[in-house]
Structure 1
């Protein structure tokens, strides 16, 4: 008698998702913590606003260029070696930011950090597609995506507290923030080599019957997909459409992430520190709820496109309202914005993983993530340039809001695909 696939999936979820979530928290924290260090770091190093925006964005240039080959290399060498190795390297580089006290060093380390992290996130999406059935993926990826709001919920007070270490052993607070948070990633890299299994066939935590049943379930799904070659995936118009949508989503995400601490501090009339970081955590707490419930609802109903479009629309409206409202209303609006642009992403990723397989899937995820990285590069620069062009600090946020709403329209323009099987029928 075959094992119950629901039980096998639940067992796999409990084994993989907490660990993947922990890695994503550290990855997101190490790429976004310069937002907390912004004010003090610029004062101490003399870094201009333009240089800061360039450094915040240049991370994504190398992240974008190396995304596709990195994912193909992970497929070749295995998740354990690839994810473990890249985590060690990015942890070391994140800690090295403590010594980036000139503009040239800042841009260099941010560039190398982007190269080091290029294989991590698309690798995690690809790994999810190799371990979980299609009908479960939005909810599974929703749990994984909780890493971003958790990084900013837990990371906001942590980063704020570390900034308060200013003067300890003669170093500024941002020095300790980079060293300690980078050191945590180094430890996680070592743990990856010991904990992670490459494929269901190698899963040490499953019995042989469970491994065989999970592998057979996944193989049956993959057999129905015809797009398996890299060239097929790259020529697919829907893949390009999805890539542009993902770029817009990331413009929304990083346009707010890099500037949210200073925006909240301005609303409170204070400097970025522990107090402002606590309030900054509120939108990310809201994002946790949205990221948990919205993808699970998508799995339950089998609806992808409309849910993704409405969720991103909520984010765009939230960003726009936050720029125009009173402080209390602005914080509430930021809650809806954060919930929207984080929760839309796990629903979004069910789309390319439902149509691609094999090398095409690995390359397609990397390709789509490459466009997202371009969005991450453009985001801080779009905001900064809009502020300068219109001579108003609100212009950047309003521009981001308009771009996000355009993204929701682009999702609605996708062809309406056959619905996935609802969760209750998938067993």
Structure 2
């Protein structure tokens, strides 16, 4: 007899920590420019805006290669394709240490995005092969906790590495890229041998457990119908297009805050190492939110409040951080804002898997993520531009607050409209049984 909760726990122990470790490395390699910037701007003779443009080119590479990457993953399997992704982004990260001009910086940041493209939506797709719908938001939440850990680790690490300035004749910002790039190369090789492509090929599940899981997933896919399984149809699905538009606000506010937070803290008169240590605090709160909110959503009939309420809370905290003048209060509200921005995102990602499956899931999830991550491109250009125009490091929070509030409003509109369409068309959604 299959005990459902025990089976899901067994799968999670095998997959989530490993996938989370890969995401932790990816996130550090993506965000290390926020600390490198504190020295690299002067070293390359760049303005804040010019550096922001270079940092943001990551998201352009990501945009162009995300969907093709995920379609390849669906064909060749996660172990081989993730190994290629991880090794290549690690090599590019190390290469950033040898940047000697703004042009080289721009090229390498674009290549980093192109190399990493497909990893996050690839994980989302992989989870659809292992977990029934009711568990996916919680699993995405557990997976995304590692992004909070990455920021918590990356902050102190970035500060310490900056203070190695001059060691072995290398600048501190060069050490950041070297030390954070090497683990990706190593873990890419490990991935090739450790990560299973599907439940069918693993030994840690019994034949009975595999059969039960197959029946659960097949039943959910049957209820979806055929439309959600075709890549081209998924890309043209109005729901995918609308969710892509809604999602822009979340990476925009997330990357805008995480990219700019070390600069805000530096403006308080804090040194590099203490800056990194203070950066741990918001990401501890983010980790708590990523654990608690998706689990609460799993017991709710409507998922929408668990997406929009944290987002509106985050927008309010961003606004208060910009209005208040006391550094301690500004920092407190920035920490709370980070929790609000991130904690509803796993619940958002459970929505498209209600109507996407197979190749359609690979394409649709990648499309939503690639379009949405253009918000990172916008943020890393708009935030330093606002600072240059206003002379204030905290003024960009007004912009991030407005974008996040707009995104939450769009989610309300889109999910309400989608629910009404489903009721009129008699479309069936996967059952909302509670995990366990």
TM-score tier (shorter): over 0.9
Contact 1:153/1:282 (<8 A) preserved: yes
- Residue pairs, 1:97-176, within 5 angstroms: 97-176=96-175
Deviations 1:164-189 (A, max 9, x none): 11111111111111111100111111
How much does 1:422 deviate?
Answer: 5.1
1:237 aligns with 2:257: no
Q: Secondary structure at the match of 1:301?
A: coil
Which range moves more in the overlay, 321-330 or 24-33? 321-330
Q: Distance in 2 between matches of 1:187 and 1:318?
A: 39
Q: Distance in 1 between matches of 2:260 and 2:17?
A: 28
Q: Secondary structure at the match of 1:329?
A: helix
TM-score normalized by the length of structure 2? 0.93
Contact 1:162/1:174 (<8 A) preserved: yes
Q: Which runs of 5+ in 2 are unaligned?
A: 420-427
Which range moves more in the overlay, 390-399 or 93-102? 390-399
Contact 1:56/1:258 (<8 A) preserved: no
Contact 2:312/2:404 (<8 A) preserved: yes
TM-score normalized by the length of structure 1? 0.95
Contact 1:91/1:184 (<8 A) preserved: yes
How much does 1:234 deviate?
Answer: 2.3
Contact 2:92/2:111 (<8 A) preserved: yes
How much does 1:112 deviate?
Answer: 0.6
Deviations 1:69-107 (A, max 9, x none): 110000000000000111011011111110012111111
Q: Distance in 1 between matches of 2:203 and 2:101?
A: 47
How much does 1:413 deviate?
Answer: 0.6
Q: Which runs of 5+ in 1 are unaligned?
A: none
How much does 1:423 deviate?
Answer: 5.2
Q: Distance in 2 between matches of 1:125 and 1:92?
A: 24
1:95 aligns with 2:83: no
Q: Distance in 1 between matches of 2:386 and 2:165?
A: 33
Q: Distance in 2 between matches of 1:311 and 1:138?
A: 15
Contact 1:41/1:174 (<8 A) preserved: yes
Contact 2:248/2:373 (<8 A) preserved: yes
Q: Distance in 2 between matches of 1:30 and 1:332?
A: 26
The aligned residue for residue 85 of structure 1 is: 84
Deviations 1:230-260 (A, max 9, x none): 2322232221111011111111111111111
Which range moves more in the overlay, 301-310 or 273-282? 301-310
Q: Aligned pairs, how many?
A: 423
The aligned residue for residue 366 of structure 1 is: 366
Contact 2:87/2:185 (<8 A) preserved: yes
The aligned residue for residue 56 of structure 1 is: 55
